[in-house]
């Protein structure tokens, strides 16, 4: 009997890497795929909404401009994701906006030549063009580094001790944007953070039908539980005598 060819040999994902449930060629069930896809959509929607909400007013844009930027981000994310899953690495990830570009974009927005434009809409258009040009050039450099394998050579000299502080600094710079939003309704925001961290990090080994449900669907479960909790507070009249700002941020019927 002839020996099987290397490409015909198939190993379960768990045999290849401990804790790995699916490979690139593996297919989850339709129900699980829909749930995971919806969870990815929620994450992508948060990025597509939060980034324009923060940047567009700084650029002089109006609410209409913000809506168009959000629509553009969602459309481009869909196109990029389809191209990546069909022709790229085929990893099940959404290719969306990145917070890593926030700091250089803010620097472009505060450029004196752009801030000196008196008309807000004209300033928004010129700032958007400047940002688009900078992103095109930066992407071209990344493509060159990737295809020339220069990045692979340079990455050998990077250690976790050097990379972790760099990545952490990008996140720390955005804390003043995220946590004040959580603080608008502490009784909802803090439990959401605690529950999500607990499900995804500390209860991730909990399994139902041999599936790590809490780890895989931590976001969906957390949102469902906290929304039910917020609805309970609203229906019970917990915010009946609260200020209007608190009611607007905490009530589920506002």
Q: Smallest Cα–Cα separation from 187: which of 237, 229, 243?
A: 229
Q: pLDDT tens track of the chain, all 254 residues?
A: 555 555 554 555 555 555 666 666 677 788 888 888 888 888 777 778 888 888 899 899 888 999 999 888 888 888 888 888 777 667 767 777 777 788 788 889 998 889 888 899 999 999 999 999 998 998 888 888 888 888 778 777 777 777 777 777 766 666 666 677 777 888 888 888 889 888 888 887 777 777 778 888 888 889 999 999 989 988 888 888 888 888 888 888 87
Are the C-beta atoms of residues 117 and 130 closer than 8 Å to each other? no
In tens, the pLDDT along 203-252 reads 877 777 777 788 888 888 899 999 999 899 888 888 888 888 888 888 88
Supply the range of the domain harboring residue 247: 184-254
- Exposure b/e, 193-222, CB count within 10 A at least 16 = b: eebbeebbeeebeeeeeeebbbbbbbbbbb
Assess if residue 201 is contained within a domain.
Answer: yes
In a domain, 225, yes or no: yes
Q: How buried is residue 247: exposed, middle or buried, by Cβ count under 10 Å (0-12/13-18/19+)?
A: middle
First to last CA, the chain: 71
* Dihedral, CA of residue 189, residue 194, residue 196 and residue 198, to nearest 10: -170
pTM: 0.67
Domains contained in the chain, number: 1
Domain presence at residue 113: no
Question: Does residue 194 lie in a domain region?
Answer: yes
Q: Are 61 and 120 in contact (CB under 8 A)?
A: yes
Rounded to whole angstroms, the Cα distance separating 71 from 56 reads: 13
Looking at residue 131, its pLDDT comes to 92
pLDDT recorded at residue 9:
47
Q: What is the DSSP annotation of 153-215?
A: HHHTT--HHHHHHHHHHHHHTTHHHHHHHHHTTHHHHHHHHHHHHIIIIISTT--BTTB-HHH
Structure tokens that stand for 252 in this block:
């589920």
- CA dihedral (24, 28, 30, 33) in degrees, to 10, reads -70
């Amino acid at each position: 009997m002839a020996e099987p060819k290397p490409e015909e040999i198939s190993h379960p994902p768990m045999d290849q890497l401990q804790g790995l449930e699916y490979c690139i060629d593996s297919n989850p069930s339709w129900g699980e795929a829909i749930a995971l896809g919806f969870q990815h959509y929620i994450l992508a929607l948060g990025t597509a909404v939060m980034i324009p909400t923060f940047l567009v007013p700084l650029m002089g844009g109006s609410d209409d401009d913000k809506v168009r930027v959000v629509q553009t981000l969602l459309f481009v994310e869909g196109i990029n994701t389809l191209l990546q899953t069909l022709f790229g690495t085929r990893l099940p990830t959404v290719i969306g906006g990145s917070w890593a570009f926030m700091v250089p974009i803010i620097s472009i927005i505060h450029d004196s030549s752009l801030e000196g434009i008196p008309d807000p809409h004209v300033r928004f258009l010129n700032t958007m063009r400047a940002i688009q040009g900078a992103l095109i050039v930066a992407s071209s450099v990344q493509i060159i580094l990737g295809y020339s394998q220069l990045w692979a050579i340079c990455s050998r000299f990077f250690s976790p001790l050097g990379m972790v502080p760099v990545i952490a600094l990008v996140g720390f710079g955005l804390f003043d944007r995220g946590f004040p939003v959580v603080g608008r309704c502490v009784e909802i925001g803090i439990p959401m953070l605690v529950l999500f961290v607990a499900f995804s990090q500390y209860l991730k080994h909990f399994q139902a039908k041999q599936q790590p449900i809490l780890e895989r669907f931590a976001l969906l479960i957390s949102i469902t539980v906290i929304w039910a909790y917020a609805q309970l507070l609203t229906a019970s009249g917990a915010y009946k005598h609260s200020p209007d700002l608190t009611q607007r941020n905490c009530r589920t019927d506002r």
